Amino acid sequence: MARTPKVVEDRREQIIDAALHVFAQKGFTRATNKDIAREAGITPGLIYHYFDSKEALFMEMLERRSPISIVKAMPAEMFDLPAEDFLRTLVLHVLQLVEGEDFLLFIRTIAPEIIVNPTLSTLFRGLLQQQVLAFLHDFFARKMANGELRAGNPEIAGQMLIGSVMSFVMRRHLLQDETLLALSQQEITDSIVDMFLLGLKPREQ
Amino acid sequence: MARTPKVVEDRREQIIDAALHVFAQKGFTRATNKDIAREAGITPGLIYHYFDSKEALFMEMLERRSPISIVKAMPAEMFDLPAEDFLRTLVLHVLQLVEGEDFLLFIRTIAPEIIVNPTLSTLFRGLLQQQVLAFLHDFFARKMANGELRAGNPEIAGQMLIGSVMSFVMRRHLLQDETLLALSQQEITDSIVDMFLLGLKPREQ
Amino acid sequence: MARTPKVVEDRREQIIDAALHVFAQKGFTRATNKDIAREAGITPGLIYHYFDSKEALFMEMLERRSPISIVKAMPAEMFDLPAEDFLRTLVLHVLQLVEGEDFLLFIRTIAPEIIVNPTLSTLFRGLLQQQVLAFLHDFFARKMANGELRAGNPEIAGQMLIGSVMSFVMRRHLLQDETLLALSQQEITDSIVDMFLLGLKPREQ
Amino acid sequence: MARTPKVVEDRREQIIDAALHVFAQKGFTRATNKDIAREAGITPGLIYHYFDSKEALFMEMLERRSPISIVKAMPAEMFDLPAEDFLRTLVLHVLQLVEGEDFLLFIRTIAPEIIVNPTLSTLFRGLLQQQVLAFLHDFFARKMANGELRAGNPEIAGQMLIGSVMSFVMRRHLLQDETLLALSQQEITDSIVDMFLLGLKPREQ
DNA sequence: AATGAATGAGTGTTCATTCAT
DNA sequence: TATGAATGAACACTCATTCAT
């Protein structure tokens, strides 16, 4: 019944939001508490009323804004779709999610840190393996087993699919490559899926 | 009488080398001039005898250590190889180059900065487009034209090839993913090329 | 209708008590209002409902917890006791008082501040002179006059007596010296009084 | 032959000196690096060129300015002096040393911290026991054994002697008690030694 | 060419104090 | 009375940069 007071949650959320934006723009080290406070419309001291340190704020932001449920949200029935439909739906879905503003901010924030921070790197690797790749592995393994897809290494298939999608996203949004930004998500999806399917689909004579 | 420029170049090189290592490990902001000086076996003040600032050192390091010639080194005759041979050779070659110590250091150094630094991002985008993708585009376009490869968008094909290769490299070396590190470069090459070829090759019968 | 002053006094007292404990443990500067509030089971803001500032709280604590009446409590009849009985009673009495928990807390609180705070130092000096030393001076002067004690400087005698007692207390409780803590108050009393009465030189019959 | 460069030692010494004065006046917590830098005529940042932290500076200051050799400097022959001569010489000597400017500064610096800092308290207790009291204990034990002094507890005798001397010093210099400041060191010495040797009880023939 | 002492601007952080509720 | 969110002025500390030597 009693909940954490609304206002407190709002302020925390507000600071976390500000942090997300500033970190995404400047990176963790270059972002100052002053920056974050300005973005949140408060004074730097107040950050410490809600968080133990700049790092604690960063970590809490990761937890609260982490889109762990990328693939989880996929309904189980999808597994039974024909491989082509499934992939097309999945890739488009992922593209939409990943290219959403929130997710891009998150990527910009976490990516530079992952490279430098072993803790984060371990954490992220686990997430990738257990949440994303495991799901794709299941799918590919199943479809390869029932003959819908050409037999092969389902692990590597998943890795390449994700890699291809992410390489588009990175070039589009980290490098701001206008050549690629000109493409619609549907076009990208089709290109990727075509490439993958024609390679994975068993040969008809 | 005048000091040989050789010595000067050596000292510069030595500092740049040290910077490369320290930046790769700590990132630009967290790396201090003291760190770099220690790594180079000199004192921090001396850095300013050779470079205008920490940032200037960083930029100069990028120029001097930039492996712009990734694909340039490819002999022109390769274009005439059968598509499969060409791709296999290319991917393996790129993997060997990219996973070399120097190149990995370079990636670790530049990657986090690209995300945050628009100048760098522009620079890198240009490099990617003009040096790497243009080359692949040429190849795919030619092979598609002469029927060796299924007709399609040569631009996107190149992008996906590079994306797939780089996604392997990143997971292996930025995330230190041991599952992937267990694979040999040859295995990775084969997986990638198989996937691409079977999808791109025109169907016989 | 009007709140009973009783409650107010209780709250004040409660805060002062908390302050005494926290100041004794951390010293004035290191002790934070948050510490004091936590110890008192209230919030920091409330302190300012009862006291003007942290310093005002400190000063009021001194006044309210000051054991000015150390020696005052001594019944006047004691003056007529034989010197030896008087001293033995006095020293033991003082030891018991001074080594009581409250007094020790007070010492720990005030001692470091006296050294640094001229106002406090003046205040404390006056207290010592007028309350404690004056009393001892009276006693020694009287006993020296009537021949019970060897003629000498009664002022200095008082000073040395107090100094000796306090040096025991300090080593026992500020330095936590276990060698001295092993002694009972009675043993300490006897040692001090014997020394003062007899001196170290052997008494020839 | 080669020594630590003169100038470095000077700067360190100069900072330590400044710290000694500022700490003595304000106490460790209230003294700011800015204060110390101003006193030393440098900028606060420079402190960190020579010391790891404010606390490290404090500790190093203690080591460098610690008058551990209070009693050690006493020549061994003194042991053979008659007890009275020895005591008179010793007390006067100690008074002179302890009431020297350097020593007083040191006391003002360390005293408030000892009360609050367990590490310091332990350290100081050891110093007191092993350097000062052990020496006095030896002396009193020897003289009691050979009958020059009345048999008694040599440990407590030493403690009381030091306590008496220090109580004078504290009242004179921490409380700035002008009544006592009017006395010369010789007068204080005589009072103390007389009291210890003769006691207060009249000596009957 | 090379040192490293020195600076000053800026960083994260703390905390007494205020005040709307 | 009582809370605790909020502030602002400090604080210890870091570090790129300068410069006399």
Taking only the tens place, the pLDDT of each residue in B140-189 is: 999 888 888 888 889 999 999 999 999 999 999 999 999 999 999 999 99
Query: Is pLDDT of C115 > 80?
Result: yes
Type of residue at B196: F
Q: Which of A155-159, C36-40, C82-86 has the highest mean pLDDT?
A: C36-40
Q: Is B163 within 8 Å of A162 when comparing Cβ atoms?
A: no
> Is B205 among the domain residues?
no
**Of the candidate ranges A124-133, A137-146, C65-74, D61-70, the one whose mean pLDDT is the lowest:** C65-74
The reply to whether A4 Cβ lies less than 7 angstroms from strand F is: no
Give the CATH number for residue C14: 1.10.10.60
> Is A101 among the domain residues?
yes
B171 vs A contacts (CB less than 8 Å): 125, 128, 159, 163
> Is A42 among the domain residues?
yes
Chains C, D: CB contacts under 8 A, how many? 170
> Is A205 among the domain residues?
no
- Identity of the residue in D171, D174, D197 whose CB atom sits nearest the CB atom of C201: D197
- Count of domains for chain D: 2
Asked if D139 and D121 sit in the same domain, the reply is yes
> Is D104 among the domain residues?
yes
Regarding predicted confidence, which is higher, B5 or C62?
Answer: C62
Q: In this structure, what are the phi and psi dihedrals at residue A2, rounded to the nearest 5 degrees?
A: -65, 130
Query: Is pLDDT of D53 > 60?
Result: yes
What CA–CA distances, in Å, run from C204 to C9, C198, C200, D149, D150? 61, 12, 12, 11, 10
- C179-183 mean pLDDT: 94
> Is C9 among the domain residues?
yes
Please tell me the predicted confidence (pLDDT) of residue A72.
64
Domain's final residue, options B43, B60, B77:
B60
Please tell me the predicted confidence (pLDDT) of residue A147.
86
User: What Rg value do the Cα atoms of chain B yield, rounded?
Assistant: 20
Give the CATH number for residue C148: 1.10.357
Best to test chain A binding among B26, B128, B140, B156 (most A CBs inside 10 Å): B156
What CA–CA distances, in Å, run from A103 to A16, A21, A97, D56? 14, 11, 7, 46
Please tell me the predicted confidence (pLDDT) of residue C131.
84
* Lookup: tokens for D172: 């004179």
The yes-or-no reply on B/C contact (3 CB pairs or more, < 8 Å) is no
With bands split at pLDDT 50, 70 and 90, how would you rate the model's confidence at D174?
very high
Q: How far apart are CA D155 and CA A68, in angstroms?
A: 71
List CB contacts of D161: < 8 A, sequence separation 6 or more.
D87, D91, D136, D192, D196
Asked if D82 and D140 sit in the same domain, the reply is yes
Q: Is A195 within 8 Å of B112 when comparing Cβ atoms?
A: no
Residue B54 Cα, gap to closest chain A Cα (Å):
15
Against chain A, the chains showing at least 3 CB pairs within 8 Å are B
| A130 touching B (Cβ < 8 Å) | no
> Is B160 among the domain residues?
yes
CB A144 within 8 A of CB A179: no
List CB contacts of D159: < 8 A, sequence separation 6 or more.
C167, C168, C171, C180, D133
Regarding predicted confidence, which is higher, D60 or B9?
Answer: D60
Average pLDDT value over all residues in chain D: 89
Taking C1' of E6 and every protein CA, the nearest residue is D46
Asked if B51 and B26 sit in the same domain, the reply is yes
CB C61 within 8 A of CB C20: yes
Please tell me the predicted confidence (pLDDT) of residue A1.
37
Look up the pTM and report it. 0.90
Average pLDDT value over all residues in chain A: 88
CA dihedral B128, B131, B134, B136 (to 10 degrees): -90
> For chain F, which bases have at least one atom within 7 A of a protein Cβ?
1-20
* Model confidence pLDDT, tens digit, residues C67-94: 766 666 677 777 788 999 999 999 999 9
Asked if B55 and B83 sit in the same domain, the reply is no
* Model confidence pLDDT, tens digit, residues A100-120: 999 999 999 999 999 999 999
CB C40 within 8 A of CB C14: yes
Q: Where are the alpha helices (DSSP H) in chain A?
A: 6-26, 33-40, 44-50, 54-65, 83-98, 101-116, 118-127, 134-145, 154-169, 178-181, 185-200
> For chain E, which bases have at least one atom within 7 A of a protein Cβ?
1-20
Minimum CA–C1' distance nucleotide for C12: F1
* Model confidence pLDDT, tens digit, residues A38-92: 999 999 999 999 999 999 999 999 999 887 666 666 777 777 888 889 999 999 9
Nearest to A162, CA basis, from A84, A71, A79, A63 = A71
By CA distance, what is B109's nearest residue in A?
A: A115
Minimum CA–C1' distance nucleotide for D35: F11
Q: How far apart are CA C37 and CA A142, in angstroms?
A: 63
Please tell me the predicted confidence (pLDDT) of residue D3.
38
With bands split at pLDDT 50, 70 and 90, how would you rate the model's confidence at A21?
very high
Regarding predicted confidence, which is higher, B70 or A6?
Answer: B70
Asked if B112 and B44 sit in the same domain, the reply is no
Window 136-165 of C, Cβ < 8 Å to D: 147-150, 152-153, 155-157, 159-160, 162-164
Nearest to C68, CA basis, from C97, C27, C25 = C97
Q: How far apart are CA B91 and CA B74, in angstroms?
A: 12
* Model confidence pLDDT, tens digit, residues D126-164: 988 988 899 899 999 999 999 999 998 999 999 999 999
Please tell me the predicted confidence (pLDDT) of residue D8.
61
Asked if B196 and B158 sit in the same domain, the reply is yes
Asked if B85 and B112 sit in the same domain, the reply is yes
What's the CA–C1' distance between C9 and F5, in Å? 28
Asked if B121 and B22 sit in the same domain, the reply is no
Query: Is pLDDT of D4 > 50?
Result: no
Asked if A114 and A74 sit in the same domain, the reply is yes
The yes-or-no reply on C/D contact (3 CB pairs or more, < 8 Å) is yes
Residue B103 Cα, gap to closest chain A Cα (Å):
15
| A197 touching B (Cβ < 8 Å) | yes
C130 vs D contacts (CB less than 8 Å): none
Asked if A14 and A109 sit in the same domain, the reply is no
Query: Is pLDDT of A203 > 70?
Result: no
Asked if B96 and B44 sit in the same domain, the reply is no
With bands split at pLDDT 50, 70 and 90, how would you rate the model's confidence at A205?
very low
CA dihedral D155, D158, D160, D162 (to 10 degrees): -140
Nearest to C171, CA basis, from B31, B7, D124 = D124
Regarding predicted confidence, which is higher, D202 or B170?
Answer: B170
Window 7-36 of C, Cβ < 8 Å to D: 25-27, 29-30
What is the domain range of residue D24? 5-60
Asked if D103 and D44 sit in the same domain, the reply is no
Please list the ranges in chain B whose pLDDT falls under 70. 1-8, 68-73, 199-205
> Is A195 among the domain residues?
yes
